[in-house]
Amino acid sequence: MLSLAYSFGFRKGELLTLKVGDVDLLTGTIRLQTSKNGEPRQVNLTGETRQLLSACVVGKSPEQPVFTRNGKAVSDFRGAWDNATKAAGCPDLLFHDLRRSAVRNMVRGGIPEVVCMRISGHKTRAVFDRYNIVSERDLADAAQKIESASQLSYRQAKVAESEETTKSVQDVTIQ
């Protein structure tokens, strides 16, 4: 569950209602039938999530839940979540925070925002923007990219100017 929430921004409810029949390991996709916004969506799995899901669905029928404990559907994992976050040294982390992390990771990974919205299930730009938080690091990275682009443009202009000068000299020499 953690890997799916962190990778794709799936909501807790979407994961808890996920059925084995919604997972297609051959094509490497998940089809979420239910979501908060009421619209189903399909997501392509990463290698890691595909491998983890294959272990969750083995031996189960299509109508069974993907996430089970002792043969019963997982319906609440607050205790396990609290224990895991305390052990990791971040006791205030909410499961829903993984959704925000997924959005930020996708955007920082260069995935177009419209694609990120389709994966995470955000219907509106306004809500998506609340998850795509800009940090000081993002601003510093932007400044570095601006500087790099500016230097590249300057070098390209100098090369073009040099080529134009060379062409002019050649034209004068030929005449």
pLDDT score of 36 = 76
Residue 123 lies in a domain: no
Does 7 share its domain with 91? yes
pLDDT score of 81 = 93
Does 77 share its domain with 159? no
Report the number of distinct structural domains present in the chain: 2
pLDDT score of 122 = 80
Q: Which two tokens stand for residue 110?
A: 């260069």
Using only C-alpha atoms, the chain has a radius of gyration, in whole angstroms, of 24
pLDDT score of 65 = 96
Sequence-ordered list of residues with C-beta below 8 angstroms from that of 36, at least 6 positions apart, any chain? 11, 13, 14, 121
Q: What is the pLDDT along the chain (175 residues), one digit of tens a residue?
A: 999 999 999 999 999 999 999 999 999 999 998 777 778 889 999 999 999 999 999 999 999 999 999 989 999 999 999 999 999 999 999 999 998 889 888 988 888 888 888 888 887 766 677 666 677 777 677 778 778 777 766 677 677 777 676 666 566 556 5
Residue 34 lies in a domain: yes
pLDDT score of 51 = 96
pLDDT score of 40 = 85
pLDDT score of 170 = 60
157: containing domain: 139-175
Tell me the whole-structure pTM to 2 decimals: 0.71
From 100, 102, 129, 104, select the one nearest 43 (Cα to Cα).
Answer: 102
